[in-house]
A and B are shown apart, each in its own frame.
Chain A
Amino acid sequence: MEMQSLEFAQLVFDLALIQCFLTTFPSLHFGMRMLRAQLARCTVPMATRACASRDSAGSAAGGPVEAAIRAKLEQALSPEVLELRNESGGHAVPAGSETHFRVAVVSSRFEGMSPLQRHRLVHAALSEELAGPVHALAIQAKTPAQWRENPQLDTSPPCLGGSKKTRGTS
Chain B
Amino acid sequence: MSASLSRAAAALLRWGRGAVGGGGGGGLPGVGVRAASSGGQAEQLDALVKKDKVVVFLKGTPEQPQCGFSNAVVQILRLHGVRDYAAYNVLDDPELRQGIKDYSNWPTIPQVYLNGEFVGGCDILLQMHQNGDLVEELKKLGIRSALIDEKNQDSK
A binding-site residues for B, Cβ under 8 Å: 115-116, 119-120, 123, 130-131, 136-140, 156-163, 165-166, 168-169
Contacts and interface: CB of A to CB of B under 8 A. Distances in A.
Contacts of B105: 120
A123 B107 contact: yes
B118 to A, nearest CB: 8
Contacts of B108: 130, 136-137
Given A123-B106, A163-B91, A168-B91, A115 B68 contact: no
Which are the 7 A-B pairs with shortest beta-carbon distances?
Answer: A157-B68, A130-B107, A115-B124, A157-B72, A165-B66, A158-B68, A160-B66
A156 to B, nearest CB: 6
Interface string B20-46: 000000000000000000000000000
Contacts of A157: 68-69, 71-72
A159 B120 contact: no
Contacts of B65: 160
A55 B60 CA distance: 32
A140 B127 CA distance: 9
Given A119-B123, A156-B68, A162 B106 contact: no
- DSSP class of A's interface residues: helix, strand, loop or mixed? mixed
Given A116-B120, A130-B107, A136-B108, A162 B72 contact: no
7 contacts: A115-B120, A115-B128, A116-B119, A131-B107, A138-B69, A138-B122, A166-B66
B127 A160 contact: no
A130 B70 CA distance: 18
A158 B67 CA distance: 8
Given A157-B72, A163-B91, A116 B124 contact: yes
Interface residues of B, number: 25
A163 B106 contact: no
Contacts of B59: 162-163
Contacts of A161: 66-67
Nearest to A157: B68
Contacts of A137: 107-108
A120 B108 CA distance: 12
A120 B106 CA distance: 8
Given A116-B119, A136-B108, A160 B60 contact: yes
A163 B67 CA distance: 8
Nearest to A134: B107
A157 B66 CA distance: 12
A119 B68 contact: no
A108 B122 CA distance: 23
Interface string B47-90: 00000000000011000011111111000000000000000000
Nearest to B127: A115
A139 to B, nearest CB: 5
Contacts of B122: 138
A69 B69 CA distance: 21
